[in-house]
Amino acid sequence: MLRRTFLTTGLAAAAQQRKALKITALETELVINPPRTPNYDALQALGIHSGTVHLRLRTDGGITGYASSNFGAIDGGPKTLQAILENEVKPLIVGQDPAFPKKIRADLFKGLQYQGVTGITQFAIAAADIAVWDIVGKHAGLPVWRMLGAARDRMPVYSMCGWYYDGDADLSKYKKQIETALGQGYRAIKVKTGRYDLADDERRLRVALDMAGRDRRVMLDANQVFSRNEALRRGKLYQQMGAWWYEEALPPHDMDGFAELARELDIRIATGENLYTKHQFNDLIQRRGADIVQPDNRRAGGVTEWMEIAAIADAAGLHLASHGGGDVNMNMLCAIPNAIYMETGGPQERMVNGEVLAPETPGMSTEPKRRA
Ligand SMILES: [Mg+2]
């Protein structure tokens, strides 16, 4: 190729790359799942009512951004989210340039302020933000974790495998799930705690620790159910037995209670899956209410909000682990220096030595896979 031709086509390609896009349409699709046998934690039954809202943002450049928001419980949740996206988010986002995710977030915060930007409204803002970043990444031809500034190309993962099950007094189902996770190559597992009394917690944790052995970690998740006093009492046993972290011992709003636990216990205190926006995380962090913050990509916010939460936590010397897994979380976690774990479960396509390799697909890897 002549140098001149190369330069001309190269510049043309660069100009094409820089061409501004405009969001031309917002579309949603609601999928309600048939009920399945539920898993239980200390607080809830998951799987009886579940569904997903899929979001598509179309652009005039032929690039489409995707996001989806899953509900493990609550019958009307997905329908409510769909209505917010269609009625409130659509008029604010159509016509916007997707190269400005922070402007779009600011416009959505302002436009939705009457309802407040926590609760299901934030599910909508987060989904929109993730779909916008999917467009930004696709337009640049890069996975979003590389665009944001990569900290790593793989993440340590753990399997959330030890739930409560119907008809499992002998813990045979519980043991089977742990055995399967360890067989899949996980180097860390998480089990639920706190549904019954302290003796039951001790029995379950003993089983998990013995099965995991000395080289693997066991995390505990109490799903908000204790009072401060009970959380402290049980936490002393958990740390003495050797659990690696103690998650959501208290309701999410009891930030002073979390601070008390973090002061009184040596075991790592983890929480955050039910906190909304960087402002709530900042409240928790300022009170020193956690050692590990755990944002969720529907409640905490999307990519834009997560990066700020991660930075606030980093400045306070705290670690971050995701609530939930998949490629959306991978795209954020791999750009967060203080991230330590992604939550997941089941067989992983790209797991090597207990770590999942980052996706190389441009964007957020949110495009639904075609049904066979
Ligand atoms: Mg949890």
The DSSP string of 308-363 is: HHHHHHHHTT-EEE-BS-SHHHHHHHTT-TTEEEEEE-S--TTEETTEEEPP-SSB
- Output the CA 247–ligand 1 centroid distance in Å: 6
- Output the CA 61–ligand 1 centroid distance in Å: 40
Q: What is the pLDDT of residue 7?
A: 53
- Output the CA 223–ligand 1 centroid distance in Å: 6
Alpha-carbon torsion angle 358, 361, 362, 364, nearest 10: -60
Q: What's the half-sphere exposure (Cβ side, CA atoms, 13 Å) at 64? A: 13
- Output the CA 364–ligand 1 centroid distance in Å: 24
Domains of the chain (ranges, CATH numbers): 20-140 (3.30.390.10), 145-357 (3.20.20.120)
Q: What is the pLDDT of residue 225?
A: 97
Q: What is the pLDDT of residue 73?
A: 86
Q: Distance between CA 247 and CA 280 in Å, rounded?
A: 17
Q: Which amino acid is at 161?
A: C
- Output the CA 291–ligand 1 centroid distance in Å: 15
Q: List residues bridging with 355 in a β-sheet.
A: 156, 352
- Output the CA 273–ligand 1 centroid distance in Å: 6
Please state the pTM of the whole predicted model: 0.94
180: helix, coil or strand? helix
- What DSSP character marks residue 35? P
- Output the CA 151–ligand 1 centroid distance in Å: 25
- Output the CA 40–ligand 1 centroid distance in Å: 12
- Output the CA 192–ligand 1 centroid distance in Å: 8
Q: What is the pLDDT of residue 3?
A: 55
- Output the CA 219–ligand 1 centroid distance in Å: 10
- Output the CA 274–ligand 1 centroid distance in Å: 9
147: helix, coil or strand? helix
pLDDT tens, residue order, the chain (372 aa): 455 555 556 556 555 556 899 999 999 999 998 889 999 999 999 988 889 999 999 999 999 999 999 998 888 899 999 999 999 999 999 999 999 999 999 999 999 999 999 999 999 999 999 999 999 999 999 999 999 999 999 999 999 999 999 999 999 999 999 999 999 999 999 999 999 999 999 999 999 999 999 999 999 999 999 999 999 999 999 999 999 999 999 999 999 999 999 999 999 999 999 999 999 999 999 999 999 999 999 999 999 999 999 999 999 999 999 999 999 999 999 999 999 999 999 999 999 999 999 999 999 999 988 654
- Output the CA 270–ligand 1 centroid distance in Å: 9
- Output the CA 28–ligand 1 centroid distance in Å: 28
